[in-house]
A = this chain, B = another copy of it.
């Protein structure tokens, strides 16, 4: 596990995720973008659209990890309370960002719609924030201190996350190699534990699945920032499997 500076958290805000109405896909998108920069998500939380729940989670997570990302609750409706909660958690006031206001005005006038109060709520940020814009929408996300605030709609979340990546300090990238053993997970457990004992700095995982024909198989994954150590561990693992005639494929 890398040091705290390489750890992030994701806070998903939305009753619709917790009710099972909507399937979250933003965790996966963010995790993959962050991995490219050598940053891991160490914790993810989903909370309801309620001020106390949001503020508590924001303060716990932004203190515990180098970066906190939030998803959802920055739209124009009454249940979009993320911006107010972030501001409260950080002890800032909510302001309308002039650039965001100008962009939204231009957008709505351009499509011949009214510049309503509800729409102008999307120009609100915590005081001191910088905007995170993306091609998908005129309504921005923002970053303040180590907290990145994005919309929840997947295409917009992905756009904002992509925009924000350049602001993060890149570190050594995590390398992964994997093989699939054509036996159940329990058959590989001892060999896997043995290799893990030899390589405390690597992460060894096993992911069992059942094939369509009913056969239990298992993917074994070795990850770490040291490519040579990853390759060495993989060689040890396949050596142990071969010694016991366990079938595997890469």
Contacts and interface: CB of A to CB of B under 8 A. Distances in A.
Contacts of A76: 185-186, 189
Nearest to A79: B205
A5 interface: no
Interface stretch (A39-47, A92-100, A226-234): A39-47
Contact of A1 (B48, B189, B223): B48
A77 B118 contact: no
Given A25-B23, A185-B77, A186-B76, A209 B42 contact: no
Interface residues of A, number: 64
A44 B29 contact: no
Contacts of A182: none
A201 B43 CA distance: 32
Most buried by B among A1, A78, A207: A78
Given A185-B77, A189-B118, A18 B44 contact: yes
A141 interface: no
Contacts of A20: 27-32, 35, 41
Contact of A186 (B1, B21, B116, B210): B116
B47 A43 contact: yes
Given A15-B203, A20-B29, A76-B186, 5 more contacts: A42-B47, A78-B189, A118-B186, A121-B189, A153-B210
Interface of A: 1, 15-25, 27-32, 35, 40-50, 53, 75-79, 113, 116-119, 121-122, 153, 155, 185-190, 192-193, 196, 203-210, 221, 223
10 contacts: A15-B205, A18-B40, A18-B41, A18-B44, A19-B40, A19-B41, A22-B207, A75-B208, A77-B206, A155-B210
